Amino acid sequence: MPEAGTQGAHIPLMAKKRLFMFCHVKIACDKSFVLIFWTLPLPWACEQVGPGSLVQAPLDEAVPSNLDALSRCESKTCPSELITPPDDCHVNRSLSFTLQICRVEDITVSGIVRGSIIHIHRARTVTIAKDGTISASELGCKEGIGKGKFLKYGAGGGAGHGGRGGTGIYNGMRSEGGLEYGNADLPCELGSGSGGSALSADNTAGGGLIVIGSMKWPLSRLLVYGSLNSDGESHRGTSGNSNGTFKGGVGGGSGGSILLFLQWFLLEKNSSLSASGGNGGVYGGGGGGGGRIHFHWSYIATGDEYVHIASVNGTIVSSGGSGKNDGHCGEDGTVTGKKCPKGLYGTFCTECPVGTYKNVVGSNSSLCIPCSVDSLPNRAEFIYIRGGVTELPCPYRCISDKYKMPNCYTPLEELMYTFGGPWSFSIILSLTVILLALVLSALRIKIGESDITYRATNAIHNDGCSFPFLLSLAEVPGASRAEETQSHVHRMYFMGPNTFREPWHLPYSPPDAIIGIV
């Protein structure tokens, strides 16, 4: 297997277009090195860190003495060059990283990229293939800020980071786990170690630090089909001194930090992103606390422009390691994202569920407040809105087209409630019917009178047996006044038995016996 190595030096490697590595090529050093997309071509011909290839700094055996890593183990501040790195790439012994890949636009990892502090700077796309790995696992601090406690004849507590380390218990003696430390919204600390026995020199290490992108130069896409991890070390053996009086287990190392500045993220099925704590050793070792993972999204569209910024089908884990025997498990670490705009929530800023709204900035799911059902009509349901609902009232629709917005009433109900509801509508309808009946009755009477007048007038002009000079009341001069109409008297004498066959009739000339009175 071709190898390249060095002792006690920083190695700058420069490439003109892309970094090519054949399968089973190994590049490793005990300090740090930089891969720079710049001027000089490399004599390799494979278009990726191929299967079986290894890029690593520092070497496994060099981790305890690596000054760059040790300088970070007690620090509580983020190094500025990891968050806001210089625009161009350069080699500087004062920088914190042990492995930096800089200005390589498209990076495909099918082999292994491994280091204590890995920094990928000014890249456009990073793809971790199915068999590829970018790892800082077990390359963090041997002690550090969150180191676990250890008793000479007892078990060790797990290291803390994103969560507290688990308590170690052996023969009734307890060793407390390490404390939680760091910032969940901008993690840049190495994981801590278990702080193991001086008798056994068998303490475990925490996870390292992986930073991809920066605030000024975020990654366009991170595609993970393999693994991206910074796990704490698990204690794999037993501890004891030469005479066998000590047999307690060492605690697990805490998970490290993974900080991602990016625009879009894919985690495919069977792939993993992890910063888990290591498991405690046998005979009561406590589990290491989980590490920290943070997604710092460069742009989050809202409203009608909203699009998903992540597709996650694999596993994202920052769990605490398990304790052995009576030892306790470490606490889970954190997985966070940039604070989401209104209407969106969670690590990946997805839309609040239908029937909820969010009118503040933040990522907690509790900020998606249920919409009030008091203002929701009985035949309505809340609907999906792209980008989430950002204010009240929450939008809704009727459950069927036969109901009309905004109250989801039938046409008849809409009419009823226009007049104040069923009771008011019933009263108004009853009054309307009564009034209409009165009007129709009056019209009927008037039409009936007009018909009688018409028949009488027609009889006067057409019947040869009628009085030719008899005038109707409407034709009497001055009879239109009410006072004169009331005082008018006219006597008429009808003759006949008044039956259907022979109704009354008005003779042309009355009988002589009544001429005097008519």
pLDDT for position 450: 65
Residues in CB range of 462: below 8 A, 6 or more apart = none
Structure confidence by residue, pLDDT tens digits, 391-405 = 999 999 999 999 999
Using only C-alpha atoms, the chain has a radius of gyration, in whole angstroms, of 48
Structure confidence by residue, pLDDT tens digits, 339-349 = 999 999 999 99
pLDDT confidence band for 38 (50 / 70 / 90): very low
Q: How many helices (H) and strands (E) does the chain have?
A: 5, 28
Residues 162, 290 contacting (CB under 8 angstroms): yes
pLDDT at 385 over 70: yes
pLDDT confidence band for 425 (50 / 70 / 90): confident
pLDDT at 302 over 60: yes
Q: Kindly report which listed range (63-77, 205-219, 446-460, 501-515) carries the lowest average pLDDT score.
A: 446-460
Structure tokens at 219: 């990654």
CA–CA separation, 211 vs 58, rounded Å?
16
Nearest to 325 by CA among 155, 148, 192, 147: 155
pLDDT for position 36: 47
**Mean of pLDDT over the chain:** 80
Termini Cα distance of the chain: 149
> Which DSSP string corresponds to 110-145?
SSEEEESEEEEES-SEEEE-TT-EEE-TT-S-SS-T
Return the bridge partners of 399, or none.
Answer: none
Structure confidence by residue, pLDDT tens digits, 467-512 = 455 555 555 555 555 555 556 666 777 888 888 788 888 887 778 7
Average pLDDT over residues 308-333: 94
State the pairing for strand pair 356-357/369-370: antiparallel
pLDDT confidence band for 42 (50 / 70 / 90): very low
pLDDT at 164 over 50: yes
CA–CA separation, 349 vs 336, rounded Å?
10
Neighbouring C-beta atoms of residue 204, cutoff 10 Å: 35
Residues in CB range of 427: below 8 A, 6 or more apart = none
Residues 292, 318 contacting (CB under 8 angstroms): yes
Q: Kindly report which listed range (50-64, 245-259, 449-463) carries the lowest average pLDDT score.
A: 449-463
Q: State the pTM of this model.
A: 0.76
Q: What is the DSSP letter of 320?
A: P
Q: What is the DSSP letter of 485?
A: H
CA–CA separation, 333 vs 344, rounded Å?
23
Residues 347, 294 contacting (CB under 8 angstroms): no
Q: What is the DSSP letter of 239?
A: -
Return the bridge partners of 114, or none.
Answer: 56, 135
Percent of the chain with pLDDT over 90: 45
Higher pLDDT, 328 or 448: 328
Average pLDDT over residues 98-106: 85
Q: Kindly report which listed range (11-25, 64-78, 385-399) carries the lowest average pLDDT score.
A: 11-25
Nearest to 209 by CA among 89, 83, 310, 93: 83
Residues 308, 221 contacting (CB under 8 angstroms): no
Most distant CA pair in the chain: distance in Å?
A: 165
Structure tokens at 26: 């190994």
pLDDT at 366 over 90: yes
Phi, psi values for residue 38, rounded to 5°: -145, -95
Percent of the chain with pLDDT over 70: 74
Neighbouring C-beta atoms of residue 406, cutoff 10 Å: 10
Q: Where are the alpha helices (DSSP H) in 91-237?
A: none
Residue 56: helix, strand or coil by DSSP?
A: strand
Phi, psi values for residue 197, rounded to 5°: -70, 135
Residue 365: helix, strand or coil by DSSP?
A: helix
